[in-house]
Amino acid sequence: MREEAWVESLRRRFPFSRGLGIGDDAAVLAPDSRRESLVLTTDMLVEGVHFRKGDLTPAQLALKSLAVNLSDLAAMGARPLFYTLALALPADYMGLCLEEFYDGLEQGNRRWGVELAGGDLSAGSILTISITAVGEAARPVLRSGSRVGDLLAVCGRLGWSKLGLHDLLNGQRKGPFAEAHISVEPLLAQGQTLGPLASAMMDLSDGLLKDLGRLCSASGLDAEIDAAALPLDRVLSDRCRTLGWSPLETVLVGGEDYALLFTAGVQEMAKIKTLVLEPDISVIGRMVPGGGQVRVFENGRERVVEVECYDHFAVHGAGD
Ligand SMILES: [Mg+2]
């Protein structure tokens, strides 16, 4: 299909209700009487760094690419509006794979109530997917708003995606852990419910300890985690023990969990627990004076965690 025909087919398939979408030099967002803040985020998935092409179908890859961007909007307490997509495609991804990729995007648009506003497509040596997503929020929740005495909580599961990545790297594409790694569900409704009540929030992409360190630094506080309060169910613990992994460390360093990490005052946390019923909310610790450190306590004693959190650069030697 020629490029013009391809763009025209996308224009018809992805109508844009907020102005001018696909087809001109740029998308146009119609003026409106906006009273809320616009929230923007970009996330890029690169073959060989973030995924292996054979592990996900094109539709799964499209859904995951969109989901990780929407997870960042959820983490701001924002409602998603629309996104742009830039794709670099190796020759073997042209044609049928590309069709299936856009099928996945269409599914994601319906499921998460978001629209494709435009983008770009190029030949490339490796598959690269870059999405810029835009949402709106009356009061975007930052990482920096935490206060001394706030409770620290997680909404969602931890460690499952790390186990799923291990399974995929060992050729196992089925099962609940691989599923958790492949099929990311952005916690959009939960993020919007938490928005007015949380003092600080972020989504967990690089592992609890590492991401919490970022929230602590932004808020100028330390965090204390109670190991016994972490969400550690039997299925995860059993699987960890089979592999000789520590369940506690698996949950602490995780990676690609896309759970929401947030802090809130005691009263706000009680209200949150009545409003957000699913997935589980685990209150895992509290914020204390300090300057960006995270400490984990097990049976009243500090536990030193030596396993490293996920680091795209360190893992793949692409930088420092
Ligand atoms: Mg994030």
What distance in angstroms lies between residue 66's CA and the mean position of ligand 1's atoms?
Answer: 13
Rounded to whole angstroms, how far apart are CA atoms 69 and 186? 8
Span from the CA of 186 to the centroid of ligand 1 (angstroms)? 11
Can you give the pLDDT at residue 309? 66
Chain centroid to CA 14: 24
91 CA from centroid of ligand 1 (Å): 31
> Residue 105 and residue 57: Cα distance in Å, rounded?
12
Cα 107 to middle of ligand 1, angstroms: 23
pLDDT for position 3: 80
Please name which of 160, 64, 158, 154 lies closest in space to residue 112, comparing C-alpha atoms: 64
Pick from 211, 207, 206: nearest CA to 223? 211
Give pLDDT, residue 306.
Answer: 74
* CA 90 to ligand 1 center in whole angstroms: 28
In order along its 320 residues, the chain shows pLDDT tens digits of 678 888 899 999 999 998 899 988 888 888 877 788 999 999 999 999 999 988 999 999 999 999 999 999 999 999 999 999 999 999 988 888 999 999 999 999 999 999 999 999 999 999 999 999 999 999 999 999 999 999 999 999 999 999 999 999 999 999 999 999 999 999 999 999 999 999 999 999 999 999 999 999 999 999 999 999 999 999 999 999 999 999 999 999 999 999 999 999 999 999 999 999 899 999 999 999 999 999 999 998 999 887 676 665 544 433 33
What whole-number distance in Å separates Cα of residue 182 and Cα of residue 25? 34
Å from CA of 231 to ligand 1 middle? 20
Yes or no: say if 154 and 120 are a contact pair by the CB < 8 Å rule. Answer: no
Q: Which residue(s) pair with 135 in the sheet?
A: 39, 80
pLDDT for 316 equals 41
Q: What is the whole-number distance in angstroms between the Cα of residue 296 and the centre of ligand 1?
A: 22
Nearest to 258 by CA among 167, 164, 160: 160
Q: How far is the CA of 212 from the centre of ligand 1 (A)?
A: 11
Q: Give this prediction's pTM.
A: 0.93
Residue 299 alpha carbon to ligand 1 centre in Å:
31
pLDDT of residue 317: 34
